[in-house]
Amino acid sequence: MDQLNQIIIVLGLLLGIFNFHKSVQFIVGLFFKPKTFQETDVRKRYGIVIPARNEEKVIGNLIESIHQQAYDQNLIEIFVVADNCNDKTAEIARQMGCHVYERFDETKKRKGWALEYLFQQIEKDYGITSFDAYFVFDADNLLDVNYIHEMNKAFVENKNIVTSYRNSKNFETNWVSSAYAIHFYGRTVYNHRPRQLMGTGTHLAGTGFMISSHLLKDGWNYHSLTEDSELTMYMTAQNVKIGYCEAAIHYDEQPTSFKVGFRQRVRWTRGRLVVFAKTWKMLFKGIFKHKSFTNYDMLFYIMPYPLLTFLLNVTYATASLVIGIWVTHNFSWKAVLIGFGTYWGSSYVSNLARAALIVYRERKQIHCSFYKTLFYVLLSPWFSLISIFLMIVALFGDVEWVPVKHDDARKIQDINQKSISLVPSTKQPLRFHMILQGFGLLLILVAILAFAAIRQFNLFSWSLAVCLKYTLVPALPSGLIFVLFGLMIQKTNKNESKLKRVR
């Protein structure tokens, strides 16, 4: 058993070493300001492509937000592919001045196939290179008024692919949509922002990106369940860096149903597994061929960690069962249950801490009241905790692409009119650093009380070492981390207040 523990520790240590750069990225994304791009007099010509399937409730609002852009409308053309629609999507898009192509093919019904068809029609009628680049949006997206202006500045510098800041237009709806939003805010903090600051390429996530026309001369060839990941990995393997423009904000509608969200994330998981299988060798070779840290980063980004975790846990649990019952004859189900509870409890705490830091860092982008946001943060760890179950279903279940229904009909003006402050309406608002410090102290206090109760009243027949292992050892450092982060944020706030008074 000791040898098995050592093997698990070594494997965990190796994964930690290979992924150490992710910790550095998180710190950079948490404490550093995003990169900005210089103003330019260069105005590129853009095509905007929108694949839509029965999106009559939302597509008009996206097109309206495009028409309201602070960018020369003569340099923008909107192309919509009404993909297997049986509603008024095509009619609405035509009435609003878009070039609309209708497609009916139930055998190839993914977004990747719709985009392939649309780019084929653009090539035939206009020529792909008649535009400098193409924006790709989902019909439920909304654009900040300066979106194209900011993306143009980034594209003038990048010249290949640029993605943008993904915000949520329905964060406040419920615990499902808020967890999704926190996940994407996290992508900004520990992926996009630090990669841009450190000069490495990032990844695409859904839509809200632009791609140069010279990269589409051979058409759109990405048809997997996650065409965004497929495009990312193929471009990275070819040493094409994907840039990031944080000043360009687009809003996305998140699922509000757990069932819909679970089904969507199973599709994402299966798609990423397929993309990993297809591209990991190219990415690995690209590390040495291009001397590219981006290839290294993307290889470990697309790697299926939930699968690795699942396999390690199954192997460890099975081996422990065999050794405990048939070898040592000293197997304890109580110890198994304690270990299980400790694992999930520590996972909850670590994900909660990360979510709290992410929400605090991105608080200016969140359209929700303080206390409601706090409640959603407390619930948000479920999003990560179900990853193993998603992986199991993705591996063994029947996974198909199913369109997600969009019915949030708010316009960009509705979002801009909302308050973005998370400060509550009390005279003495509860500060975020107080919450962190209070939670950390509470965690330490509960651990001490639990330790004392177990030892004093002999609640469990634990040795002193086991009692320490499952109470004070995990809780004390976790609580201290919360307290220290709270003190750091409090000090930062005081320094900012002093600077404002000086000015």
Q: Is 389 in a helix, a strand, or coil?
A: helix
What's residue 423's pLDDT? 35
CA distances from residue 149 to 8, 35, 206 in whole angstroms, order as listed: 51, 16, 21
The chain-wide mean pLDDT, for the chain, equals 85
| Torsion angle defined by CA atoms of residues 331, 334, 339 and 340, in that order, rounded to the nearest 10 degrees | 110
> What average pLDDT does the segment 381-407 reach?
84
pLDDT in tens, 193-225: 999 999 999 999 989 999 999 999 999 999 999
Is pLDDT larger for residue 155 or for residue 322?
Answer: 155
pLDDT in tens, 122-138: 999 999 999 999 999 99
Q: Where are the domains of the chain?
A: 1-10+34-407, 431-503
pLDDT score of 469 more than 90: no
Q: How confident is the model at residue 459 (pLDDT cuts 50, 70, 90)?
A: low
What's the pTM value of the predicted model, to 2 decimals? 0.80
Contacts of 392 (CB under 8 A, 6+ apart): 310
pLDDT score of 309 more than 90: no
d(CA 341, CA 345): 6
For domain 1-10+34-407, give the CATH number: 3.90.550.10
Q: Helix H segments across 191-257? A: 193-198, 227-237
Q: Which of 94-103, 155-164, 380-389 has the lowest mean pLDDT?
A: 380-389
| H helix count then E strand count, the chain | 20, 8
Q: How confident is the model at residue 428 (pLDDT cuts 50, 70, 90)?
A: very low
CA distances from residue 156 to 35, 44, 143 in whole angstroms, order as listed: 15, 8, 20
> What average pLDDT does the segment 91-117 reach?
92
> What's at 318, amino acid-wise?
T
Percentage of residues in the chain with pLDDT exceeding 90?
Answer: 54
Which residues in 269-297 are b (16+ Cβ under 10 Å) and which e? Answer: bbbbbbbbeebbebbeebbeeeebebbbb
Q: Which of 46-50, 135-139, 307-311, 358-362 has the lowest mean pLDDT?
A: 307-311
